[in-house]
Amino acid sequence: MTNPTDVAVETRSFEADVAKLLHMMVHSVYSDKDVFLRELISNAADACEKLRYESLSDPTLAGSDSASVTVTLDPDARQIIVEDNGIGMSEAELVEALGTIARSGTKAFMDRIATAREAEGTQLIGQFGVGFYSAFMVADRVDVFSRRAGADQAAHWCSDGLGTYTVQPADTAEAPVRGTRVTLRLKEDASAYTERYRTQQIIKDQSGHVPVPIFLKEKPDAEAEQIADGAALWTKPKSEISEEDYTDFYRSVAGQFDQPALTLHYRAEGLHEYAVLAFIPEVKPFDLFDPDRTGRMKLYVRRVFITDEAEILPRYLRFVRGLVDSSDLPLNVSREMIQQSPVLAAIQKGVSNRVLTELEKLSAKDGDAYIKFWDDFGAVLKEGLYEDYTRREQLLGLSRFKSTVSGEGWRSLKDYADGMKENQTAIYYATGSDLDRLASSPQLEGFRARGIEVLLLTDQVDSFWVTAGVDYDGKPFKSVTQGLADLSLIPPAEGETTPPAASEEVNDFIAFAKDLLKDEVSDVRVSERLTESPVCLVAAEHGMDRQLEKMLAAAGRGGGASAPVLELNPRHSLIAKLSELRDNPALREDAARLLLDEARIADGELPVDPRAFAERLGRIMAKALG
């Protein structure tokens, strides 16, 4: 037996951001502290499932006892204990699991939590699934004893949640034979969690459907009573499952505390058999825009947990939470074999198609609910327009857009197609980062004058998918800030007239500006787009869209900005006046350069040379006032 007095106790500091997270929990007020039990039981159930998986290749790991989770109440010591006989952890694994936040990058994780806390007050726990650390909401000390299956040595982790923790080899008698025991010394105001009725109800409500039996002991020396049978919810007929059952299971599998906006529960039969229980959240998960863009679907084989890293759904459906239980994959399948399995490929295709079909049904049946979904997850779903060619038509049908005629609402591409004008051969769009600025862009003026709807695309992914050769009903997508507008064949809107051709003086000024600005722009030409503004910038016909070019440059992936095209409105009074300055070359040059800078500013950029811009503007103003 190892004597704990004979070994050194190692004291370590939490990773800085973990300490910050613990501080936020201890010193903030949360709407529901009960969630700590759900998190600890979910961890314990996962440990049991991992043992079932590893024992497939080494049956001696599991021994003769069945997997279970036991919650023990100790009112006299003001403690609550959550114990499992799952896979367990070594000392190094305890440090890795409980001293860091491994997923997503700690700094980014903490930034998201801080932002959401400012925006939504106390609704933190559950929405972010902070797991083990939620124990410090109710405990002023947490002890973890763990022994990995098949190992002799156990380990003891301990912390008060104030910035440090200790870890050391554990006395063999104190540690479980296999698995993990978490002991919470409760704060005075949390002593009610040692009351049997309250704790039993919380467990049944929040963790009653985990696939591992749960036992409750009223006191350390009392007999354990089974309060959850460990029957997998997804194996039950839908007629036997209530909405509350689905919600409870969703919360346990998703690590969130909202309601599921959409539930998919079905069993596929035929060439391949598998069960699916999946949910679309009501609230955006905190990791929705995680750079790794990984999914959160668990894979089971005949109720044995295999992995939560199988790519069951494409990355643009990563907001879906849940599981797939296959009857056809072999129980001893390795994670490497999973990725190469034709069975899994069939499951991936089937589940992905079913999710999209259910979204189509939702959009047809309940438009308001679908718009709520789109507000939350549309930007992610549109990634599929760029990545998933085979489902692009279906995804285009599901997509919704802001446009120059949508007002506060959303438009489908069917709505757009139904409103297309005579001789219109393309679907026009503009990309940008700000909806209001985009809606007031000078490049839209000529389209409005002809009553042509323009889609206003403000998500980052929009700049990519529109360039991927996408079309809808045979109509290509065309940027209003790229190439020639080519509006001459489309009749003007009611009350508008076809603008006259540019005068000889204007054409002469354009030729002058083109020669003067040849090192800064690729062309200077008459604009069909402009009706109110004097100038605008556009990309060349075969050049990269200007918004995409800016994004790539900001990410350090561009090869240098290409020279834009400067378009002038020949019907604007300013252009007409400037065209008359043939006898004042200096003023004419200042005016041409100021027009280019004005176009840059209207496009959200700064003048290339702010000092020269200010000097030219000063000379023009002095001339006007003189």
Q: Are 566 and 516 in contact (CB under 8 A)?
A: no
* C-beta neighbour count of 323 within 10 angstroms: 22
To the nearest 10°, report the CA torsion of 17, 19, 24, 27.
Answer: -160
CA atoms within 13 A on the CB side of 472: 22
Is 194 annotated to bind a ligand? Reply is no
Q: Are 449 and 496 in contact (CB under 8 A)?
A: yes
Is 420 annotated to bind a ligand? Reply is no
Is 543 annotated to bind a ligand? Reply is no
Question: Rounded to whole angstroms, how far apart are CA atoms 523 and 536?
Answer: 12
Residue 321 neighbours by CB under 8 Å, 6+ apart? 250, 253, 254, 256, 278, 279, 280, 281, 285, 296, 297
Is 584 annotated to bind a ligand? Reply is no
Q: Give the distance between the most distant pair of CA atoms in the chain.
A: 105
Is 558 annotated to bind a ligand? Reply is no
Question: Rounded to whole angstroms, how far apart are CA atoms 425 and 417?
Answer: 10
CA 580 to chain centre: 55
* C-beta neighbour count of 162 within 10 angstroms: 14
Question: Rounded to whole angstroms, how far apart are CA atoms 153 and 90?
Answer: 8
Is 84 annotated to bind a ligand? Reply is yes
Looking at this protein, which amino acid is placed at residue 221? D
Is 243 annotated to bind a ligand? Reply is no
Question: Rounded to whole angstroms, how far apart are CA atoms 585 and 1?
Answer: 98
Is 129 annotated to bind a ligand? Reply is yes
Is 127 annotated to bind a ligand? Reply is yes
Q: 138-153 as b/e, with b when 16 or more CB fall inside 10 Å? A: bbbbbbbbbbbbeeee
Strand 139-147 to 155-159 pairing: antiparallel
Question: Rounded to whole angstroms, how far apart are CA atoms 113 and 558?
Answer: 32
- List beta partners, residue 141: 185
Q: 436-458 as b/e, with b when 16 or more CB fall inside 10 Å? A: eebeebbbbbbbbbbbbbbbbbb
Q: Are 136 and 161 in contact (CB under 8 A)?
A: yes
Is 335 annotated to bind a ligand? Reply is yes
Question: Rounded to whole angstroms, how far apart are CA atoms 33 and 104?
Answer: 24
Is 618 annotated to bind a ligand? Reply is no
Looking at this protein, which amino acid is placed at residue 113? I
Is 130 annotated to bind a ligand? Reply is yes
Question: Rounded to whole angstroms, how far apart are CA atoms 101 and 253?
Answer: 19
Strand 471-472 to 475-479 pairing: antiparallel
Q: Which residues belong to the annotated binding site? A: 39, 43, 84, 89, 104-105, 127-132, 180, 335
Binding-site residues for ATP, in ranges, read 39, 43, 84, 89, 104-105, 127-132, 180, 335
